[in-house]
Structure formats: structure tokens, C-alpha cells
Structure 1
Amino acid sequence: MSAEEMMRLIGGLKVQHGAIFNPPASRSDIEFFERSMQLELPDDLKLLYSLSDGFDIGMFRIVPLTEALNYASELKKGQFYLAEYMIYSDCWIVDLGKGNGYEIKNDQDTGKRFGEITAFLSAFLEGGVEGLFEQRVEV
């Protein structure tokens, strides 16, 4: 995915849903996260965090890297929190233990799994991300 495509997708979140974006994570922020977690982020996640280090849409949030690092001990090696809803009532994690790829899945290991951030965000926009206490976002 190109930077332009990612900007178009997250720009839609701002226009359609009033997303509030955090400042971008710097390259050194991303490298610190990778070193601390002993993993390498996939390119699409690096791109997302280099555009915005997390964002909020109401009670749904993409978790900033520092916050994901703070909660790392709660998950298995190679996993971190990507998104949360209602103060961690529903959570989605990135699981990098899938060979060359990764999965985004609900922390209860239920529902649809996503193989890239754009698929996850697109499903959120369409109201197809399980969790959210069955809330559906109207597009």
C-alpha cells in the first residue's frame, strides 16, 4: 500500500467519523518500539504509525506505540494491542507469529481475522469489526 492510499483511507476516517489523529511516530519511536518488543513491524503498520501514532474515533482507538509497549507484558511474545474500544472492553491485537505475515484479531480470539491494517480499518468503516459491543458505525 502506498502512502497516498493510506492517507486516503485514514482521511476518510476523519471526514466520515471525526477521527482525532495523534502526531506521527518518528522513525526513532518506531525503532524503539521494535527493539523493545524484539520484533519488526510490517511495512503497512510502520506507514500507519509514521502518519499518526494512533487515533480516536469516539470510544474506538488505534493504540499509540508507547501505550502498546506499556501493555506488552499482558500478551504473548510477538503480539501487541493495536486497537481498543471502551477503555479496553474490546481489544484487537496484532499477532506477528504467523510466518512472514501477521494477523489482527479480537483478543478473545473470536470473529474475523485480518491480514493487513487496511482490511481491518475498511471493515471498521463498514461496521464489520466484531466487538464494539455490537455497535455499528454508520457510513
Structure 2
Amino acid sequence: MRQLITAIKQKHEKDGIDIYPGAMLSEIDTFEQKIGFPLSDEFRRFYLLCNGFGCNEDIFNIIPLAGIMEYADNYGDNWFYFSEYMIYSDIWGLRYLGDCRYEIFNATHPTIALTSSLTEFLQRFLKGNVFDPGGLYQWHQELGIPY
């Protein structure tokens, strides 16, 4: 996860990116209490290394924990939005399925799972940002998710 965050930072340094310092365990515990379920190990590692980032490319962000908790519309009984672009023009979330199972979805089509892996999601962003070949929207198309 550390290498992936470093690669994203290096790719976007010229255009501008802010990598936020990692969250403290107490912040993660508070977040989990607020949303009502435990984070996956992958999300926990990510937030310990970096409490989100803000990228000028496509105005794409991984939302810091405090930012998610700030608005009740950002989370529900078994899900929360963790990523957005163009000031919430599009949003991606994590859904907890129980029994340590999770899936990442896009808010436009919330019943369709993209992946269960934050690493895969971030690799897609690293490869093609939101719109470029190999990026998040091409991934949606490959999975048959209409736009």
C-alpha cells in the first residue's frame, strides 16, 4: 500500500496532490464506531499510512475520515463514501457485506460491485486517473456499467 501511495504521489506531483498524514488508531476507532462496522484490513492500512489525498487531476479525492463523518449523507448502516471527483460529481463507496466481506461501488449504480479491493481501485486511478485509458471510467465500461 505504501508503494502505491508513493506512485500516485509521484505521478501527480507536477499537477498538484496533497497526501494527508496518516490517521491515528483512535481516529479509525471513532470512525468505525460512527459507521457501525469495522474497516477492512486494506482500508485500515491505507488510512494509517495516509488519511486520504486531494489530487488536482480531475479534482479527485480520497476523503479523510473526518470529512466522511462530517456529513450524514456520506455513510449509512453498512456503507460509506470514500472517494469523489469534481466536488462530489461522482462518488465511490465501500459496502460492508458482513463476515469480513466488502465491495466497492459507484454511487451512480450502487448495486453493482466494482471490486472488493482498495488496492485494485487505487491501481486503476494510478493507471488512468478518472477518464484516461485504463482509468476508473474505462473500468466501469469494462464491467458493463453504463454511463
TM-score when normalising by structure 2:
0.78
**1:86 counterpart residue number:** 86
Q: 1:27 to 1:11 in 2, by over 3 A?
A: same
Count residues in correspondence. 126
**1:129 counterpart residue number:** 136
**2:9 counterpart residue number:** 14
**Runs of 5+ unmatched residues, structure 2:** 129-134, 139-147
Secondary structure of the residue aligned to 2:102 is strand
**Runs of 5+ unmatched residues, structure 1:** 1-5, 132-139
Secondary structure of the residue aligned to 1:91 is strand
**1:69 counterpart residue number:** 69
- Higher strand proportion: 2
CA distance in 2, matches of 1:72, 1:124: 26
Deviates more, 1:114-123 or 1:67-76: 67-76
Tell me the percent identity: 35
Secondary structure of the residue aligned to 2:38 is coil
Q: Conserved in 1, the CA contact under 8 Å of 2:35 and 2:75? A: no
Q: Conserved in 2, the CA contact under 8 Å of 1:72 and 1:80? A: no
CA distance in 1, matches of 2:35, 2:85: 23
Secondary structure of the residue aligned to 1:31 is helix
* Structure 1 residue identity aligned to 2:124: A
1:1-139 superposed matches below 5 A: 6-18=1-13, 19-58=17-56, 59-73=59-73, 75-97=75-97, 99-109=99-109, 113-127=114-128, 128-130=135-137
Q: Conserved in 2, the CA contact under 8 Å of 1:72 and 1:79? A: no
CA distance in 1, matches of 2:74, 2:68: 10
Q: Conserved in 1, the CA contact under 8 Å of 2:68 and 2:74? A: no
Post-superposition offset of 1:87: 0.6
Which consecutive aligned stretches of 4+ in structure 1 deviate over 3 angstroms post-superposition? 72-76
Q: CA RMSD, aligned part only? A: 1.9
